[in-house]
Amino acid sequence: MSLFLIIAIIIVGVIFIFVEFFFIPGFSVFSILGAIVAGIGVYMGYNQYGQVAGNWLLICSLVATGAVFYWGYKRMQSKKWALKTEIDGRVNVEDFSAFNIGAKGTALTNLRPEGKAIFENDERVTVYSLGEFIDKDMLVEITKIEHSKIFVKKVN
C-alpha cells in the first residue's frame, strides 16, 4: 500500500475526530470511528514501512490532530461558526390589561369549559368556565385571570 494512501487514511480519521468535537455534540460514533481509522493508518505505516516511518506517521498524526483542535478552538472563540442571535418574541401572549375581575360579558359560544366571550370593550377572547357548562348568549362574569387564561362564571 502506498504511503500516500496511508496518510489519506490518517487524515480521514483526524477529520472524523474534528467533526465529532466541533459539529456534533457529545461523544459518539464519529470520535470512535476517527480514532480507529487514524490508528489503522498508523498501524499500516508501521507494518508496511517499518518502525522509523511508523514513528513519523504517529508523531505527524498527533501533531496534525493537535493543530486541528487548536484551529477549531480558535475558530469557535471567534464565533464564526455559530449563530449568536436571540429570539425574543413570544407566542400566544395576550394582553389582558383591558379586562378586570368582575367585568360582565356575553358568551359567544358554549363554554364546555372553554369558549369565546365578548366583554364591554367589544373584544372577543377565549375564556374558561370554572367547571360548569355555560350555554351560548348567557351573561358571564370574570372571576379570575391567571397567566394567559380568563376564568368566568355564569351570572344569575
CA distance 92 to 46: 64
pLDDT band at 80 (very low <50, low <70, confident <90, very high): low
Backbone angles phi, psi at 155, to 5 degrees: -90, 130
Contact between 72 and 22 under an 8 Å Cβ cutoff? The reply is yes
CA distance 75 to 83: 13
pLDDT of residue 108: 95
Mean of pLDDT values over 113-128: 90
Cα-based angle 87, 89, 93 (whole degrees, multiple of 5): 150
pLDDT band at 123 (very low <50, low <70, confident <90, very high): confident
Give me the chain's average pLDDT, please.
87
Contacts of 123 (CB under 8 A, 6+ apart): 98
Percent of all residues in the chain with a pLDDT value above 70, rounded to a whole number: 95
pLDDT of residue 101: 92
Alpha-carbon distance values, 73 to 21, 59, 127, 149 (Å):
10, 21, 53, 47
CA torsion 97→99→102→108, rounded to 10°?
-160
Structural domains of the chain ordered from first start: 3-77 (no CATH), 104-154 (2.40.50.140)
Collapsed DSSP state (helix, strand, coil) of residue 39: helix
* 16-69 pLDDT per residue, tens: 888 887 777 777 788 888 889 999 999 999 999 999 999 999 999 999 889 888
pLDDT of residue 81: 62
pLDDT of residue 85: 76
pLDDT band at 147 (very low <50, low <70, confident <90, very high): confident
CA distance 81 to 21: 13
pLDDT of residue 59: 94
pLDDT of residue 82: 64
pLDDT of residue 83: 67
Angle of helix 29-77 relative to helix 3-22, nearest 10 degrees, comes to: 70
Judge whether residue 138 has pLDDT over 70.
yes
pLDDT of residue 136: 94
Grid coordinates in use for 128?
Answer: 374558561
